[in-house]
Amino acid sequence: MNQGDSMKIGRRRFLQMAAMVITVGGFLEACSDEPTANTANPTTTSAGRSDTIPAVRSGTVPMPTSTPTAPEKPEDIAGNFLKAWEEQRYEDMYALLSVSARGFIERDKFVARYTNIAAEATLSNLQTKLGSAKPPATPNDPYGFNFTANFKTIRAGDFTQQNTLRLVQDNNRWRIDWQPTNIFSGLATGNLVRMIPLNPTRGTISDRSLQPLAKAGVYYTVFVVPGKIDNEQQLLDTLSQSLTMDKNVIKDLYKNGQPDWRMDIKRLPGSTPQATLNTLQAIKGVGIAETEDRVYPAATTAAQTLGYLSAVNAEELKTLAAKGYREDDQIGRAGVEAWAEELLAGDKGGKLTIITPDGGISEKLAEKASVDGSNLVLNLDLTIQKNAERILGDKMGSIVVLDVNDGSTLALACNPRYDPNGFILGLSGSQFKALNDDPRHPFQNRPVTGLLPPGSTFKVITMAAALERLGMKPDDRFTCTGHWTGLGEQFAKDCYLKTGHGNITLYQGLVQSCDVVFYELGKKLDETDPLLLPAVTKGFGLGSSTGLVGLTDAPGQVPDPQWKKDNLQQAWVRGDAVNLGIGQGYLLVTPLHMAALYAAIGNGGQIPVPRLVARSEKGANPQTYAAKVKQKLPISSANLDIIRRALADVTISGTGAQAFAGSRIRVAGKTGTAESGKETPHAWFCCYAPADKPKYAVVIALEEAGFGNEKAAPLARQLIDTLTF
């Protein structure tokens, strides 16, 4: 559409505007020059009697007289009117109107008109200044005042108008003889104020190699003009077949339209074959409009990480209007689209105009150009992301890949997923409900908000606490019969290996993931100090946000005596520490927590802050999100080296050996199987590779999938085989 001053707004759009304004307060009717009610006679009461005071009869006591008040000055009335306008006290403004003006516009419509114009203009501030006066030539003439109004608008910028107020006397009081031109000098009766939005192009989101993940793209909107339909049955048959829509649904979309109205039926993606478009355009009464909007080229890939867009609703507009948003504007709803809304959205512009009843522009009041949004470059590697999602397949869970040294978030894969393009094409209510009500929660970004007990992948922390705080040595020995009664037979626990591991060292306890060893460690740590193991756990980065740059992650949960008292109103018992020792009980982490933790083990003890966003680009001044360290692991280099050697042996002779047999890359990692509260446990595998010079940290978390060594470790092997070293 041509956006010049000669632009014509279509009849349908104008009538829609008019209908909207009438609904919210009689906006159009307020423009009329015809009175909406008879002008009342100020000298007559409601009963029709004279309002004059009867004369005092001779011989009666004289009535007391009151002190006369000073007559109101016209400049005070004019000033009060303008001050009330500045402060949006529209009812107070109306109280200063003349009788004839009140006959011209009712109070509710007056208030609605000023309210609607302020909203349409995105008015953020108004300053007025009363100017020179034009005194009346005779007592019956009006009093005039010039005034200046300085308008500040969010979308169209600032502008100034010179205008005039006309005051007349009502019962010897000066009152404003109001007209619509008192708002804007060019706002003649019947005209409307219209903000023509000048929308910026939303910034592109790209992966680390600048492959677009979200960008501007082409869509085709199929519409029907009811008055141009020649053969309705043919139209319905063709549209139904081409658009895969029910005929009754199609007809319902256009049947209430005026003959010359454009009634939108369905939006099609830019990839729609030209042959399909040609078939549709050949039908009389059908048209196709090409539009530009957000497109996600990789469809479901990284959907939860990228997020989606949808229109601002009326409730949100109460706060977003101050930023220039309108009810038909789109906003980021999840993922990076929401996290970086201000960067991506840019600065909205607009052209504030006065339009005539036929839709033509009679005056341009102000105009401000839009400023396109910043482009975002993610650390996400599209190739690694796609491979991770392919390997994950239809399993419910997550895969995380981090750069061990700088925290670059190379992949955040999860399943199930959704296609964010659906929100741009238009999801039906039933389609959205199906997604929202899906018990598998496809909108959840599992890698960063999915909370699970980590199971045996946590044992590295328990071992670290034993080495550091209890002074234990890697060759300290334990006896595992497959059954543990350290808290008494009534609280007995079993090892996953029912036959037991026999006489086993602390070092081999981690390699073989012996539960009995870690039951005993949890007990000993709690005997020393109930806060000891929880404190070391927090020192490994659990129980708080990872600091992820680009998304909001879940902090997780690390139980301790105070936590249990506050949240469950129960006392801490030794069994809580025993459960914590094997990564169970009340402990909850995200896959991202574990990726950052294992990255820290791999890089020598520095927990990196995961960085999803690498930089934002706008002009010559890009903003870079530099690598940061969250905290240092609370363990000595010597003890950390013991754990690193044990993790490397896990994939050679331990619980991960079968999955990594014959691997070209030596991997250091840990299997985990965590109780899910259901019959099938969660499966984990956390690792870094290569073991001797780590580059990647990889975490696999499969919900209700089985044992970690059988289900998760093989997927880690598959993914690592695709990585470049």
Average pLDDT, the chain: 90
Q: How do residues 582-593 score in pLDDT, each as one tens digit?
A: 999 999 999 999
Q: What is the per-residue pLDDT for 128?
A: 98
Q: How do residues 156-172 score in pLDDT, each as one tens digit?
A: 999 999 999 999 999 88
Domain assignment present for 48: no
Structural domain ending residue among the three candidates 337, 371, 405: 371
pTM of the entire structure? 0.84
Mean pLDDT of 433-459: 96
Mean pLDDT of 130-137: 92
Domain assignment present for 46: no
> 186 and 223 share a domain?
no
Q: How do residues 563-578 score in pLDDT, each as one tens digit?
A: 999 999 999 999 999 9
Q: What is the per-residue pLDDT for 622?
A: 85
The boundaries of the domain holding residue 531 are: 390-720
> 301 and 419 share a domain?
no
Q: How do residues 69-94 score in pLDDT, each as one tens digit?
A: 566 899 999 999 999 999 999 999 99
In the chain, the percentage of residues whose pLDDT exceeds 70 is 90
Q: What is the per-residue pLDDT for 428?
A: 80
> 511 and 613 share a domain?
yes
d(CA 425, CA 269): 7
- pLDDT for residue 261 is more than 80: yes
The tokens of 226 are what? 């009811």
Q: How do residues 271-328 score in pLDDT, each as one tens digit?
A: 999 999 999 999 999 999 999 999 999 999 999 999 999 999 989 998 999 898 988 8
> 663 and 600 share a domain?
yes
Q: What is the per-residue pLDDT for 25?
A: 33
Amino acid in position 532 = L
Structural domain ending residue among the three candidates 340, 371, 402: 371
- Within 10 angstroms of residue 115's Cβ, the number of other Cβ atoms is 15
> 213 and 189 share a domain?
no
> 345 and 357 share a domain?
no
Q: What is the per-residue pLDDT for 40?
A: 37
Task: Report the domain count for the chain.
Answer: 3
Tell me the three-class secondary structure of 183-241, residue by residue. Answer: CCCCCCCCCEEEEEEECCCCCCEECCCCCEEEEEEEEEEEEECHHHCCCHHHHHHHHHH
- pLDDT for residue 59 is more than 90: no
Let me know how long the chain is. 725
Q: How do residues 16-58 score in pLDDT, each as one tens digit?
A: 444 333 333 333 333 333 333 333 333 333 333 333 333 333 3
> 494 and 612 share a domain?
yes
Q: What is the per-residue pLDDT for 140?
A: 82
- CATH number, position 684: 3.40.710.10
User: In 28-52, which positions are buried (b, 16+ CB within 10 angstroms) versus exposed (e)?
Assistant: bbbbeeeeeeeeeeeeeeeeeeeee
User: In 576-596, which positions are buried (b, 16+ CB within 10 angstroms) versus exposed (e)?
Assistant: bbbbbbbbbbbbbbbbbbbbb
Q: What is the per-residue pLDDT for 127?
A: 98
Structural domain ending residue among the three candidates 303, 336, 371: 371
Domain assignment present for 59: no
> 561 and 705 share a domain?
yes
- CATH number, position 109: 3.10.450.100
Domain assignment present for 51: no
> 459 and 575 share a domain?
yes
Domain assignment present for 379: no
Amino acid in position 363 = E
**Contact partners, residue 474, CB within 8 Å, separation at least 6:** 467, 505, 506, 507, 642, 646
Q: Is omega for the bond preceding 200 within 30 degrees of 0, making it cis?
A: no
Whether 208 and 362 have beta carbons less than 8 Å apart is answered as no
Domain assignment present for 45: no
Residue 142's pLDDT band (cuts 50, 70, 90) = very high
Domain assignment present for 54: no
The tokens of 406 are what? 């700088």
Strands 205-206, 212-224: pairing kind: antiparallel
519-522, long-range: CB < 8 A, 24+ apart = 519/484, 519/486, 519/493, 519/578, 519/581, 519/582, 520/478, 520/484, 520/486, 521/462, 521/463, 521/465, 521/466, 521/470, 521/472, 521/581, 522/462, 522/577, 522/578, 522/579, 522/580, 522/581, 522/582
> 471 and 537 share a domain?
yes
Place of tokens 């009712």: 106
- Within 10 angstroms of residue 86's Cβ, the number of other Cβ atoms is 13
> 421 and 452 share a domain?
yes
Q: Calculate the alpha carbon distances from 699 to 37, 120, 217, 265, 646 in Å.
A: 74, 51, 34, 45, 18
- Output phi, psi for 437, to 5 deg: -95, -5
d(CA 109, CA 669): 71
Whether 611 and 409 have beta carbons less than 8 Å apart is answered as yes
Mean pLDDT of 263-269: 95
Report the range of poorest mean pLDDT among 356-360, 372-376, 682-686: 356-360
Q: What is the per-residue pLDDT for 68?
A: 52
Q: Calculate the alpha carbon distances from 33 to 14, 16, 186 in Å.
A: 20, 22, 15
Q: What angle do CA 332, 333, 338 make, to 5 degrees?
A: 50
In the chain, the percentage of residues whose pLDDT exceeds 90 is 85
> 532 and 597 share a domain?
yes
Residue 668's pLDDT band (cuts 50, 70, 90) = very high
Strands 205-206, 375-378: pairing kind: parallel
Domain assignment present for 699: yes
